[in-house]
């Protein structure tokens, strides 16, 4: 048994040991001071300081008085775990990942830009990224192409996809299949079957791009397994997750119970319409993840940035902490590669997004030129990745 006196002595000598190598070194590398820390992974929403040392979260406490090499003033701002965007097209260019980082995105998944033919070059982009980048491989060898990559089903080559995954086991975290009729015609179920066949030996999830498919969601959803992801969950009819009266199909609830995830993916065309969004949210069927589906053309209008997409869900009535959860801890749980992300837990990699929540009148658009005016909008303010400040976001 340790007496109180012994315990104190032990703690004191431990503290001396930690500081001994350089008596003049600051205790922490960085302190993010005075922000409203919202971390759904810890159930935390309070004014806190976040201390960082050695690239990891060292403490999350009120009024940390120890010294730090660098201090970030976060008063009046939100301090949240680095954002995790599970549906982007950032791997299409070398500049993409850095652009995501300015949004506060410290981990991302490129969702099917590349198939087997171009996976090597996009994997190289992910490996060279300043943030944590992973890829879903498109079941079509060409990746996404104009006119629909699965209009010719010979492109859905299971052997080629498996070979590409085997070459990049560290980077490819799932398979993407776009099931809209303008991508795959009437062959959506066969495309899904091949995606699952490619995924099976590696035990990887399949992400389906839903909306305006030939087959109804009632036929598609029962084929999905635990860990699979439905992206563009708010796509309007034909073949939405709601019927023509706006009621959720029972298969949707059954899929969620089975462990299938539902993701937003704002994008540009056919993926989100206000009336469908309102029907779904009103029934209490909230997304597991919010994602942008951004590409370089959607950064001036529609998507803009991750914070803008998140703000649309504040406007739709989701509470702030749930919106943050959809962009952090929930997203991190979907992929093993992100297991230690989406959290400010002590010991986790020091990936932090500082956001501003401004009041005012902000215009939000869906994919059908529908406009809504919201009263609040989130803006990226600063990003810390691995304990280091990232370049400032655009003004
Ligand atoms: Zn996409």
List, for residues 204-213, the tens digit of each pLDDT value.
999 999 999 9
Alpha carbon 369 to its chain centroid, in Å, reads: 25
Q: How far apart are CA 339 and CA 268, in angstroms?
A: 30
CA-based radius of gyration for the chain: 22
Contact call for residues 156 and 150 (beta carbons, < 8 A): yes
> Which pLDDT value is given to residue 391?
82
If you measure from the C-alpha of residue 290 to the centroid of ligand 1, how many angstroms do you get, rounded to a whole number?
Answer: 13
If you measure from the C-alpha of residue 265 to the centroid of ligand 1, how many angstroms do you get, rounded to a whole number?
Answer: 7
Closest CA to 70 of 51, 88, 89: 51
Global model pTM greater than 0.75:
yes
Where is average pLDDT lowest: 1-10, 197-206, 253-262, 318-327? Answer: 1-10
> Which pLDDT value is given to residue 393?
65
If you measure from the C-alpha of residue 88 to the centroid of ligand 1, how many angstroms do you get, rounded to a whole number?
Answer: 6
34 to 37, 46, 53, 72, 354: CA distances (angstroms): 9, 10, 18, 9, 11
If you measure from the C-alpha of residue 184 to the centroid of ligand 1, how many angstroms do you get, rounded to a whole number?
Answer: 15
Is pLDDT above 70 for 395? no
Contact call for residues 78 and 354 (beta carbons, < 8 A): yes
- The predicted-structure confidence for 81-114, as pLDDT tens digits, reads as follows 999 999 999 999 999 999 999 999 999 999 999 9
If you measure from the C-alpha of residue 392 to the centroid of ligand 1, how many angstroms do you get, rounded to a whole number?
Answer: 26
Q: Provide CB contacts within 8 A for 14, sequence distance 6+.
A: none
If you measure from the C-alpha of residue 299 to the centroid of ligand 1, how many angstroms do you get, rounded to a whole number?
Answer: 14
- Is the preceding omega at residue 238 within 30 degrees of 0, hence cis? yes
If you measure from the C-alpha of residue 83 to the centroid of ligand 1, how many angstroms do you get, rounded to a whole number?
Answer: 18
Is pLDDT above 70 for 278? yes
If you measure from the C-alpha of residue 293 to the centroid of ligand 1, how many angstroms do you get, rounded to a whole number?
Answer: 5
If you measure from the C-alpha of residue 111 to the centroid of ligand 1, how many angstroms do you get, rounded to a whole number?
Answer: 6
166 to 73, 111, 136, 169, 204: CA distances (angstroms): 45, 18, 13, 5, 12
- The predicted-structure confidence for 137-196, as pLDDT tens digits, reads as follows 999 999 999 999 999 999 999 999 999 999 999 999 999 999 999 999 999 999 999 999
């Amino acid at each position: 048994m340790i007496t109180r006196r012994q315990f104190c002595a032990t703690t004191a000598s431990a503290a001396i040991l930690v500081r001994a190598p350089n008596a003049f070194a600051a205790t922490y590398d960085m302190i993010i001071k005075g922000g409203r820390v919202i971390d759904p992974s810890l159930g935390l929403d309070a004014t806190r300081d976040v201390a960082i040392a050695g690239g990891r979260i060292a403490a999350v406490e009120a009024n940390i008085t120890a010294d730090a090499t660098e201090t970030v003033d976060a008063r009046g701002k939100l301090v949240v775990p680095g954002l995790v965007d599970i549906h982007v097209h950032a791997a299409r260019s070398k500049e993409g990942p850095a652009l995501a980082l300015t949004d506060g995105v410290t981990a991302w998944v490129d969702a099917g830009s590349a198939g087997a033919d171009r996976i090597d070059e996009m994997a190289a982009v992910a490996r060279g990224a300043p943030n944590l980048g992973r890829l879903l491989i498109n079941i079509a060898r060409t990746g996404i192409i104009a006119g629909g990559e699965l209009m010719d089903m010979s492109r859905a080559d299971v052997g080629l996809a498996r070979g590409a995954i085997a070459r990049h086991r560290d980077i490819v975290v799932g398979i993407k299949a776009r099931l809209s009729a303008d991508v795959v015609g009437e062959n959506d179920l066969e495309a899904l079957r091949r995606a699952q066949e490619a995924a099976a030996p590696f035990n990887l999830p399949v992400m389906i791009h839903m909306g305006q498919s030939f087959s109804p969601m009632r036929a598609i959803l029962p084929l999905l397994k635990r860990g699979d992801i439905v992206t563009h969950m708010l796509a309007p009819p034909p073949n939405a997750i709601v019927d023509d009266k706006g009621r959720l199909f029972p298969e949707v609830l059954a899929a969620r119970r089975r462990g299938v995830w539902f993701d937003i993916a704002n994008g540009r065309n056919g993926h989100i319409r206000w009336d469908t969004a309102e029907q779904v949210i009103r029934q209490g069927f909230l997304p597991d993840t919010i994602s942008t589906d951004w590409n370089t053309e959607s950064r001036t209008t529609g998507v803009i940035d991750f914070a803008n997409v998140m703000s649309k869900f504040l406007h739709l009535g989701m509470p702030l902490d749930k919106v943050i959860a959809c962009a952090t801890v929930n997203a991190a749980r979907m992929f093993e590669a992100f297991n230690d992300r989406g959290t400010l837990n002590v010991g986790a990699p020091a990936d932090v997004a500082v956001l501003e929540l401004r009041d005012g009148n902000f215009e939000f658009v869906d994919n059908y030129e529908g406009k809504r005016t919201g009263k609040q909008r989130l803006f990226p303010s600063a990003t810390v990745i691995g304990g280091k400040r990232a370049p400032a976001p655009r003004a």
